[in-house]
Amino acid sequence: MEHSKLSAHRFRKGKFITPMNAVMSGIGQHDSWYHGRVPEYLWLGLILDHYGRDVGLSKCNLILKSLRKIAPEMVIPRLSSVFALDEKVQTEFYDCVLAVVPREVLCPLTCIFTYSHHPAFTKAFLKSDVSVEDRFATVVRLLKEISDHQSHLSTDIRFLVLYLGLLSGKMHMPEEMLLNVLEYPKCSHDDERMRKLRPTIRAMELAFREVGFNQDTRNKAYLQSFWKDVSRMGDCELFYLEFAEPKPDAKDYSERVKRILEYYAELQGAANPIDNKMLVLLGIATYSFKRLSELVRHELYHEISGRGIIRVLVEDYIMMKYLLKNEADRSDIWSEFQSYGIGQYKIIVAKWRDSGKDLKTSHVAYEYMSILVNEHMDEEFLDMDTSYFDKQPIRLKAEDVGEKELYSLYYDYDSAFEHGLWGAIRESSLIKCNSSVHQYHCVPDIEDRQKLKSVWHDCVRVMDMTLGILEGIYGLRTSVKDGDNCAED
């Protein structure tokens, strides 16, 4: 299935709306194929699975016609609706089923629907010589096969749902469409016509459920009970990704960056120690280097913390380019940048003072922060800006300096980890369970099995671009450049 491009989405009130949701309402969990409909149609799947497609469809045809006669009010062949029938009516229907298929076909379901809650069903289909383990194994295998709503077996089941709708007279369609639908059971899945028929069947079943469910309300209690019972019977099957990436030769690269920054620090001291522009640029680059050094020293390449480091490197690089672009119009932008950052510290210090709390054990060194706030001027003359620096978020700054792609492909992603958004939590802290009876749920990664892709190569790339800014302004001796390629691999 080809996914829609971002440009095809509609942007409304800060939200990208998918092309599908733009024309139809979203589908809730109880409406979903796997969670909300598979438990209802599993009995049809067992018949198709046991006999194969051609014979299975033929036998289901006979059974659905019997169901139509016995329970004419039933629009959709849901098992919960069958269970809701009077027990005598249920027994009559089960006898019709047994006249078409032997009891071992639906026997697997008796491991879920037991005698205490479904006596008529159990009497009809239980085979005591089939173990609970074997019955459950069949259910698990089938659930896994039809978990994909577009699989051939799933589409065959969805056709049968439509078929009862046609028999009930509740479903109406143009004659040409009806003829196409009735061609479906006559065509093998290898038939070229099926490329159009299968999507048609799926779309019509999805639309018909609205009509059917208006006639016969969804049985949420049945769904909850089904998933609760099957999930208790199965064990988790955990799997996680392992990215086979060689350990980088990071020490040599770090030494080269350190050597370059030492050169610029010496240049600053020798040429103009009070050059505010150079101080800010070197300060930003040094901060990026210190974050890179933490990455190397603690080997955080595959860790969540590594995402925070590359995010800082990207933001620092964008900020350097932004300050340089705007210095022509505002020669004092370097002091403005410093005052803005110290002003943020002043806000924190002021809130600490107002709180009246000691907080000596806090990781925040409030008293030292107070000294920094008053380092160059009395804080009574220092205003505090609570908005973004220069009134623009980093996204707009990135666009302004031609780094929209860097922001979109890196910063947004890594920010999810810094803010603890669900996508980042799901990728880093939850392991997938491959059990169909657990609905492929997730398990907390307490043992830290899941490692993320390494941030090393991206860190090197952005650090090199940061150093490139300094070289473009202040130059760099060839001898200092030795080891330019040591970051490879």
pLDDT of residue 434 exceeding 80: no
**Residue 29 confidence class, pLDDT cut points 50, 70, 90:** very low
What does the pLDDT look like over 168-220, one tens digit per residue?
A: 887 778 888 888 888 999 999 999 999 999 999 998 888 776 544 444 467 88
Delimit the domains of the chain by residue range.
Answer: 15-234, 250-481
Positive or negative: CA dihedral 118, 120, 121, 127: positive
Positive or negative: CA dihedral 267, 272, 275, 277: negative
What does the pLDDT look like over 328-337, one tens digit per residue?
A: 998 799 999 9
pLDDT of residue 253 exceeding 80: yes
For residue 32, what pLDDT is reported?
Answer: 84
pLDDT of residue 14 exceeding 70: no
Mean pLDDT of 429-443: 78
Strands 442-444 and 430-433: antiparallel
Mean pLDDT, the chain, whole residue set: 88
Residues 6+ apart with CB under 8 A from 53: 152, 156, 188, 189
Q: What percent of the chain has pLDDT over 70?
A: 89
Whether the model clears a pTM of 0.85, i.e. scores above it, the answer is no
For residue 30, what pLDDT is reported?
Answer: 44
What six digits make up the tokens of 146? 């039809």
The two counts, helices (H) then strands (E), for the chain are 21, 5
What six digits make up the tokens of 90? 């249920």
From residue 404, how far is each of 17, 18, 288, 318, 409 by CA, in Å?
22, 23, 20, 10, 9
**Residue 245 confidence class, pLDDT cut points 50, 70, 90:** confident
Mean pLDDT of 217-231: 86
pLDDT of residue 263 exceeding 90: yes
| Long-range pairs for 410-415: beta carbons < 8 A, 24 or more residues apart | 410/310, 410/311, 410/314, 410/458, 410/462, 411/311, 411/314, 411/315, 411/318, 413/307, 414/307, 414/308, 414/310, 414/311, 414/314, 415/311
For residue 16, what pLDDT is reported?
Answer: 64
**Residue 152 confidence class, pLDDT cut points 50, 70, 90:** very high
pLDDT of residue 28 exceeding 70: no
Q: Distance between CA 78 and CA 131 in Å, rounded? A: 26
